[in-house]
Structure 1
Amino acid sequence: MGIKTIYKNKVIVFAIILFILLTNTVKSQIISKIILLVNGLPIIETDFQERSKYIKFVNPNAERDVISRAALKELVDEAIMKSEAEKIGLSYSDEQIIITLDDTLKAQGASYEEYAGQLTEAGVDPKTIIDQRKSRKLWQDYIGRKYARLANVTLEDIDKYRNSLLERELFHIQTMTLSTENIDPMELMDLVNNIENNFQSCSQNLFSYKDKTNIDIQDRIDISIDQIEEPFNTMIRYNLNTFLFPPQADTEQIKIYINCTPKKSLTNKVIENILIADQLDNYSTKILRDIIQDSNIEYKNK
């Protein structure tokens, strides 16, 4: 056997040994990257690191151990969310999530492209937020499909919700009281019509009618709904976006109620949808907690 042949064989043997060593090293690295299994589904070190960086990006003052716990919890939750949703055939592509995320950011005056650039500049892979949003969107659809039929909202619930909103509101209310004494009825009606037809603002009312001896104007700022007397109280509860309300008359006076700061009023349907969403959120929290308790979560060396 010649020297060249011996040398060639040694090179081949060395190459084989090197290949085996490299293969074992790669396998070892892959295995070491798995930090936990959620019902057999792996969560790897890279996922943990990227999620930790994203949480740090959103909460720059958070402590390291807080970030680590939050990252692990989110990854476990999302692994279960995605797995359960996929069991009933739900799926989303990255592109679909990016479009949804872009729409959300544009409503805030930004865009996905801009946000992704900020993440990249901060050393965060934008894929992290895509994965997060995808899992949560899948879970939202999963809860909606399986539990929406259980949601139940009554008219009493709607009224209670509307009243709770009103109790947190502050109003600017103006009450114009027109005396019926010493004034011709036709002249009085003309005055009422003039007030209604030429109304510009509550401040203008104070200026325009300050010298009218038969008109008393009460201008109340920052009062609660409970401080508003009937029948205006009931009127405003169901007509928040109305300025002028129909005059209320008796034998001695005519009252004109004005809501100086009208507010957008939610319809019953909008409130119903809000309450259904709240109920589904409660289902979501409970169902996820129950699934996690029944899951096999195996922590590896991190």
Structure 2
Amino acid sequence: SPGTAQEVAIKILVNDDPISDYDIDQRERFLAITTHEEPSAVLKKKASDLLIDERLQMQEGRKLGVSADEDEVAKILDDMAKKNNLTVDGLSTALGRAGVNIRTLKDRIRAQLVWQDVVRRKFRYEITIGDAEVDKALAGTGGEGGGTPAETALQLRQVKYEFPAGADQNTIASRLAAAEGLRARFETCADLAKGVEGASVKTLADQQPASLAQPARLLVMNAKIGQMTPPTLSASAVELYAVCGKRSFRGDDKTRADATRKLMNDEMMIHAERLLRDLRQDAFVEYR
């Protein structure tokens, strides 16, 4: 009825996207609850700025065809409610008592999800975290992985001249001679890319020295990058290893993966802030 109808006035246009006085009032009330601040001109300005940013984030999402997954929105709401020992309905009721429609919280969550996706799509190929950065981060934390001694990972090419079981001395000697000849001619790992006549070549990336049997382990550790080890004899082959690279690293796989993820997120946040700043600068924002 006309008596209860609420007049909604458009207060801000963000590239023609409207923000009403109701939107601003709702967000200000929500901020008052979450920040424990009293409603004020400063808080209203903060609410308006947040809404402008969210409009820009959602607009960028639409350009890339990104929308929020409503199941994910529901899950985040459910988690929020549980942290406060409430159901989602209970959270809605509690917000309602403070004059806040739960929709303003849902809108905020949607904008955050869309923005995360936008940033990931725009920058995931630009950001690379190297081993040296992870090592530095782990050494700097002094936490798990920081104090551990650096381990070595090897980039190897394994060359095998195989011989049949029960091969005679002449066969084995000819394989050894071929291996010695290869070692004498060897200059760089690139030489092996085309393969080796009469032998198999296998690339062993990030090989831990402990995974190699002796005496190959010792020979590989003593070889410099770009060198080939002397041939060793196993039960079925003559083997040599070309050492193409060595790197030191700290921490186990999980520790390193966690550190890499954190560095990646930090870098993403920097890119996200820059992108939002550019969107603000390019936006047409009209206050009414």
The equivalent residue for 2:57 is 81
The equivalent residue for 1:273 is 261
The equivalent residue for 2:29 is 53
Q: Distance in 2 between matches of 1:113 and 1:163?
A: 47
Q: Distance in 2 between matches of 1:40 and 1:116?
A: 30
Q: Distance in 1 between matches of 2:256 and 2:36?
A: 41
Q: Distance in 2 between matches of 1:163 and 1:110?
A: 42
Q: Distance in 1 between matches of 2:137 and 2:80?
A: 26
Q: Distance in 2 between matches of 1:58 and 1:108?
A: 13
Q: Distance in 2 between matches of 1:108 and 1:120?
A: 15
- In structure 2, the gaps of 5 or more residues are 152-251
Q: Deviations along 1:52-99, whole A, 9 cap, x unmatched? A: 100011122346122111101100000000011011111126554122
The equivalent residue for 2:92 is 116
Relative to 1, partners in 2 of residues 1:129 and 1:162: Cα closer, same or farther, differing over 3 Å? Answer: same
Deviation at 1:104, TM superposition (A): 5.3
Q: Distance in 1 between matches of 2:114 and 2:136?
A: 32
Q: Deviations along 1:239-259, whole A, 9 cap, x unmatched? A: xxxxxxxxxxxxxxxxxxxxx
Q: Distance in 2 between matches of 1:96 and 1:234?
A: 39
What do you get for the CA RMSD once the two structures are aligned? Answer: 2.9
**TM-score (ref. length: structure 2):** 0.57
The equivalent residue for 1:101 is 77
| Contact 2:81–2:88 under 8 Å retained in 1 | yes
Q: Distance in 1 between matches of 2:254 and 2:43?
A: 39
The equivalent residue for 2:230 is none
The equivalent residue for 1:132 is 108
Structure with bigger helix share is 1
Q: Distance in 2 between matches of 1:150 and 1:72?
A: 32
Q: Is residue 282 from structure 1 mapped to residue 270 from structure 2 by the alignment?
A: yes
The equivalent residue for 2:128 is 152
Structure with bigger gyration radius: 1
| Contact 1:153–1:272 under 8 Å retained in 2 | yes
Q: Distance in 2 between matches of 1:161 and 1:101?
A: 34
- In structure 1, the gaps of 5 or more residues are 1-21, 170-224, 226-232, 239-263
**TM-score (ref. length: structure 1):** 0.54
Q: Is residue 297 from structure 1 mapped to residue 285 from structure 2 by the alignment?
A: yes
Q: Distance in 2 between matches of 1:101 and 1:164?
A: 36
Secondary structure at the residue paired with 1:150? coil
| Contact 2:92–2:102 under 8 Å retained in 1 | yes
The equivalent residue for 1:67 is 43
Q: Distance in 2 between matches of 1:66 and 1:105?
A: 28
Relative to 1, partners in 2 of residues 1:150 and 1:109: Cα closer, same or farther, differing over 3 Å? Answer: farther
Q: Distance in 2 between matches of 1:141 and 1:162?
A: 28
Q: Distance in 2 between matches of 1:267 and 1:146?
A: 27
The equivalent residue for 2:172 is none
Secondary structure at the residue paired with 1:35? strand
The equivalent residue for 2:234 is none
Secondary structure at the residue paired with 2:99? coil
Deviation at 1:281, TM superposition (A): 0.6
| Contact 2:10–2:19 under 8 Å retained in 1 | yes
| Contact 1:35–1:43 under 8 Å retained in 2 | yes
Relative to 1, partners in 2 of residues 1:63 and 1:127: Cα closer, same or farther, differing over 3 Å? Answer: closer
The equivalent residue for 1:17 is none
The equivalent residue for 2:13 is 37
